[in-house]
Amino acid sequence: MVAEFVVTSSKKLQVEEPEFPTNTCVLCGALFSAKKPASTPDLTKIQSLFAACKERKDEVGLRLLAKQSSILDGSVSIRYHRHCLPVDVHQ
């Protein structure tokens, strides 16, 4: 006689949240709205944003820099409020 064992897990399957949620600004964390819509950076703005992050070295900047290669290759996307960008990134 062969004994059968059934293994069950009480742990729920965890669904990973995206690194940077697409419904909130990566810089301020607030939700997007009609008055404050989302912007997606082009390569020039991304490079300027990373330069600003390197200068500031704040928590948000360090999170963005940690994912820099994934953001640049498109595997991680970021969105932000246009008014949240540092002034020099708009140029």
Mean pLDDT computed over 5-34: 75
pLDDT in tens, 50-74: 999 999 989 999 999 999 999 999 8
Neighbours of 59 (CB within 10 A): 8
Token readout for 6 is 């059934």
pTM for the structure as a whole: 0.71
CA distances from 50 to 4, 61, 65, 78, 85 (A): 56, 8, 7, 12, 11
Domain ranges for the chain, please list them.
38-86
